[in-house]
Amino acid sequence: MKKIILLAFTAILFQPVFSQSEKFIGAMKKNIAEIDSALSRNEVARLNDIAATFERIGDAEKNQWLPYYYAAYCQVTVAFIKNEVANNDVVADKVDQLIAKADALEKKNSELSLIKAMNTSLRMLVNPMQRWMQYGQKIQEYTQDAMTQDPTNPRPYYFNGVSLKSTPAEFGGGCGTAKPILDKAMELFATFKPASDLHPVWGKVVCEKEAAGCK
Amino acid sequence: MRRGILNQLFLLILLTGILPGAIAQVTIKGVVKDNKNTPVTGASITIKDSYDGTTTDSTGHYSFKTYEKGQQVLLVTSIGYKSSEQTIKLEGNSLTIDVVIRQEISELTAVVLSAGTFEASDRKRAAAVLDPIDIVTTASANGDITQALKTLPGAQQVGESEGLFVRGGTAAETKTFIDGTLVNNFFFSSVPNIAQFGRFSPFIFKGTVFSTGGYSALYGQALSSALILESIDLPEQTSANLGLSVLGGSLGYQHLSKNNKSSFGGSYSYTNLAPAFAVIKQRQDYSIVPNYHNADANFRIKTSKTGILKYYGYFSSNRLAFTVNSIDSLGYLDKFALSNTNHFHNLSWREYLPKKWRINAGLSYTNNKDDIRSAMQNNAGNEVLLTGLEAKTFNLAMNGNYFNAKLVLEKKFKGLSGIRFGTEYNFSKDQTDYTAFNGQLYPGSFKETISAVFAESDIYATNDLALKGGLRMEHSKYLDKFNLAPRFSLAYKLGKGSQASFAYGIFYQNPERRYLPSPNELSFMKAAHYILQYQKVLNQQSFRAEVFYKKYHNLVKTDFVGFSEAAVSTAGFGDASGIEFFWRDKKTIKNFDYWITYSYLDTKRDFLNFPFAITPNFAAKHNGSIVTKKFIQKIKTNFNLSYTYSSGRPYYNIRYDGSDYKFTDRGTIPDFHNVSFAINYLPSIGKKDAKSFAVYVLQVSNIFNLKQTYGFQYSFNGARKEPIVPTSRMFVYIGAFISFGIDRSNEVIDNGL
């Protein structure tokens, strides 16, 4: 009896009253896994939900930048998949807000710089000819920042490579210029060690595919 | 032992007491809708400061469980909507909470007050009808801003003189503004029967608003149209550029400071038409081939994170002289010589102030000097004085000084709503010295001060309904009169990408300087505009249709006062109505962009020396254009072809018979057709890390060498008439532009991507 009561007691005690960090780590892990599963099943709407969840976590925690990072990452990813360029400015405004919150907590982070590059590229896609002058250089700057801030981070190389691959060869893009950069990204993916279980590790699988598409 | 059991029981009771409160989850569900009762998909619902929440499904429904209890805040957010917060009490029961969130009014989704305006800028983001790049790459435009605008509905294809003739108005009824302030000599000085180009390069502007009517109370002194140009801010990087063409050469340098907070630069260009005229036969026989020294200088300083101070200065000195066979006397020549110097300085400052205030201030000063010599010449090249034609021999020295200032304060309220008010001051002093054939000097001096105050308010009731109301009051020192001009416009969203808008306004303008001073008392000329527009803009395609009615009052009537034609009254009148269409499509064919316009105009006016109300000689009933652009990536070349058409305009010879002005001749000129072609070749595109970028241009205007007639001119006695035609039929332009340090080629390749 005593044992049962004790068991019940501990169960009750521990179920709703996780320590704050355990709750945070648990929720983050669960949702990071959700991103992968949503992407693998191509559930775009689900990514929006996950973005909202991350934003909730960020707002509740108040001093964690990673939830905002993932919220921004999900929003950007959805916009790239949907490719409704007329809507990109609205999304990019939202992402800017998320990045600003993350930036306030984590200065000069390579992963955040990369999200900035990706978000700027969303804006440029609205009207590439008109906006190239304004945003083209910004994208390069942010990508370069991401590379310098963490030279071991493969994602800036991945993003740069993919962008180049989709640029016509006449404009200095295509596989010729993209391949070495994608290869460099693959090299970095092989050795990349995230700072914690919650830090970003995405990109390897797609990068492999993109690199393989450039023979 | 018994006590132990009791204790345990107590504990159990205690625990079970806590249990429901501790682990029982509460379900919260409901629907999220907007203020139009439409379900909102993908809205985020959160218990504030907790992880608990969810997003709405496609029907706006949501449902989630939470462990939170007591008083909590339920927060609902969604992109494009204002967030909503409400306090809820979690007491163990499921809750059903339906939430209404309001659309956030933003530039991206709100309707645009677009009646009567064509915007060519990125400010309205994807909604812009024309980009600045479009202006440069329109084949018939030859890199001239107003030439490109002539491919838009509303403007006439008038080739014998410069300027924009909009919806039955004269060129003088269109005013140009740079960074808010009036520009007095936008075009090079007029030459008889030869349209002049604008003085400013399209590359110094980032935004263009071309209003064909119903424009804002911030602008005045233009009966028909306002061309509002916004100069660029800081350049992207330090660069130098070099240009070489059949017409001349140019050199420029722009320096951007290391901290990206200021820049300065300048350029010089020399244009000489001698080589071109050697190849392409001109109607005129030039003794001084048109040649231009143009220089400009600029600096731009960021005065804070949001403020910028900009200076642009321009200097030009140009000369030309030619003869044409005289229409008045066989065997003799008419001589015309012009030398012009112009300098223009524009200083503007814009800054955001606390509490959503914003200030825009601008100053501009212009000095323009024209020296004109008109005479008759014999075949030996000597000036002669023929009896009865003495008036054709004269000297005209004009010296104009213009000072303009403008201050606008703006306060933004919630959403996009706001108010704007300010003041404008235009001072002009013109010295006109006329020397007659006999050496008699008739000096003339004219001063005018026009001051204005204005206020305007934008009200965005929802994303779907916007109103703009404005009032402008002007005072003219010369006329010694005040005017009060109300303006109003409204836009309503009809559906995705489509909207209807309406604009109304009263517009005043002083009688043209060339007809002043007048012996009689004059008043402001006046026009009332009514414009109704339908517009549909979807991804890469846009359509608009516009109907307008314009009523003119108090137009200037002229008569001969002494030597010259002067205003004698403002008893003229007129009206104009029409319908215009614009269609642009970048989507249907890949890498191919085109637009088609058509304008119908019905107008009559009684002004100047017209005997009664007639369709003026600058108004064609039908105008149309087709502009196409194709970029071929493989050969890095952009092909632009454009066609413009206007139906035959009327022409008149109006003469004074001693008591009345009468027609001695009238008719209709042939229809006007023009096909122009341009190729831009960009070899350095995509060359990685290239230090220089080159653009090669080949432009052919009137490629089919069609005969174009602009009107007729008459001899002094009215006995002979001659068609007014372009100086040459076909014209070919070849040029190369190289820039170092910056990829300008991107500005030139069009919407090929």
Task: Select the more confidently predicted residue: B590 or B691.
Answer: B590
**Rounded CA separation B41/B31 (Å):** 10
Structural domain span for residue A43: 20-127
Domain presence at residue B177: yes
| Residues A126, B126: C-beta atoms closer than 8 Å | yes
CA A85 to the chain's CA centroid? 19
**Rounded CA separation B625/B635 (Å):** 28
Same domain? B507 vs B573: yes
- Give the containing element (helix H, strand E) for B147: helix B145-149
Residues of chain A contacting B79 with CB distance shorter than 8 Å: 90-91, 94
CATH of residue B705's domain is 2.40.170.20
Domain presence at residue A135: no
Q: What is the DSSP string of B40-99?
A: PTT-EEEETTSS-EEE--TTSEEEEEE---EEEEEEEE-TTB--EEEEEEESSS-EE--E
**Confidence (pLDDT) at B109:** 67
Quote the percentage of chain B above a pLDDT of 70.
91
| Residues A133, B636: C-beta atoms closer than 8 Å | no
Residue in B125, B688, B747 nearest the CB of A177: B688
The answer, yes or no, to whether residue A187 has pLDDT greater than 70, is yes
| Residues A60, B12: C-beta atoms closer than 8 Å | no
- Residue from A62, A180, A103, A170 nearest B686 by CA: A170
The answer, yes or no, to whether residue B746 has pLDDT greater than 70, is no
Residues in chain A, total = 215
Q: What is the pLDDT of residues B465-523, one digit of tens each?
A: 889 999 999 999 999 999 999 999 999 988 878 889 999 999 999 999 989 989 999 99
Residues of chain A contacting B235 with CB distance shorter than 8 Å: none
Residue of A nearest to B683 (CA): A170
- Residue from B152, B214, B155, B147 nearest B187 by CA: B147
Residues of chain A contacting B236 with CB distance shorter than 8 Å: 133-134, 137
Residue B88 CA neighbour count, 13 Å, CB half: 28
Residues of chain A contacting B11 with CB distance shorter than 8 Å: 5, 9
| Residues A60, B688: C-beta atoms closer than 8 Å | no
What is the tally of structural domains in chain B? 2
Q: What is the DSSP string of A26-43?
A: HHHHHHHHHHHHHHHTT-
Strand locations in B277-382 (E)? 285-302, 308-325, 333-353, 357-377
Domain presence at residue B317: no
Residues 168-197 of A with CB under 8 A from B: 168-173, 177
Same domain? B91 vs B123: no
**Confidence (pLDDT) at B748:** 43
Q: What is the pTM of this model?
A: 0.81
Domain presence at residue B357: no
Say yes or no: A137 contacts chain B, CB-CB below 8 A. Answer: yes
Predicted ipTM > 0.90:
no
Q: Collapse the DSSP code of B464 into the 3-class scheme (helix H, G, I; strand E, B; otherwise coil) and give the result.
A: coil
Q: What is the pLDDT of residues B630-688, one digit of tens each?
A: 888 778 888 999 999 999 999 999 988 878 889 999 999 999 999 999 998 877 665 55
Residues of chain B contacting A67 with CB distance shorter than 8 Å: none
Same domain? A96 vs A57: yes
Selected residue of B14, B51, B68 to mutate for chain A interface (largest A Cβ count, 10 A): B51
Do the Cβ atoms of A11 and B16 come closer than 8 Å?
Answer: no
Same domain? A123 vs A156: no
| Residues B50, A56: C-beta atoms closer than 8 Å | yes
**Confidence (pLDDT) at B348:** 96
Same domain? B51 vs B166: no
Q: What is the pLDDT of residues A148-182, one digit of tens each?
A: 999 999 999 999 998 888 877 767 778 888 899 99
Residues of chain B contacting A27 with CB distance shorter than 8 Å: 51
Chains A, B: CB contacts under 8 A, how many? 115
Domain presence at residue B126: yes
Same domain? B94 vs B176: no
Residue in A9, A60, A89 nearest the CB of B51: A60
- Residue from A1, A48, A24 nearest A197 by CA: A24
CATH of residue B70's domain is 2.60.40.10
**Confidence (pLDDT) at B685:** 64
- Residue from B64, B76, B66, B65 nearest B33 by CA: B76
Do the Cβ atoms of B522 and B555 come closer than 8 Å?
Answer: no
Neighbours of B650 (CB within 10 A): 17
The answer, yes or no, to whether residue B542 has pLDDT greater than 60, is yes
Q: What is the pLDDT of residues B168-179, one digit of tens each?
A: 999 999 999 999
Same domain? A28 vs A116: yes
- Residue from B73, B74, B72 nearest B62 by CA: B74
pLDDT average, residue stretch B34-43: 87
Distance to chain A for B110, nearest Cα, Å:
12
Q: What is the pLDDT of residues B399-455, one digit of tens each?
A: 999 999 999 999 988 778 899 999 999 999 999 999 999 999 999 899 999 999 999
**Confidence (pLDDT) at B749:** 40
| Residues A8, B15: C-beta atoms closer than 8 Å | yes
Structural domain span for residue B416: 117-288+382-748
Q: What is the DSSP string of B711-749?
A: EEEE-TTSS-EEEE--SSS-EEEEEEEEEESS-THHHHS
Neighbours of B545 (CB within 10 A): 16
Same domain? B733 vs B685: yes
Distance to chain B for A193, nearest Cα, Å:
28
**Rounded CA separation B391/B139 (Å):** 41
Question: Which tokens in the block code for residue B72?
Answer: 């909590």
Residue type, B738: I
Residue of B nearest to A59 (CA): B49
Q: Collapse the DSSP code of B2 into the 3-class scheme (helix H, G, I; strand E, B; otherwise coil) and give the result.
A: helix
Q: What is the pLDDT of residues B565-607, one digit of tens each?
A: 899 999 999 999 999 999 988 888 877 889 999 999 999 999 9
| Residues B131, A129: C-beta atoms closer than 8 Å | yes
Residue type, B449: T
| Residues B53, A53: C-beta atoms closer than 8 Å | yes
pLDDT average, residue stretch B141-154: 85
Last residue of a domain, one of A94, A127, A160: A127
- Give the containing element (helix H, strand E) for A82: helix A66-82
**Confidence (pLDDT) at B565:** 86
What is the tally of structural domains in chain A? 2
Task: Select the more confidently predicted residue: B607 or B138.
Answer: B607
**Confidence (pLDDT) at B752:** 31
Domain presence at residue B298: no
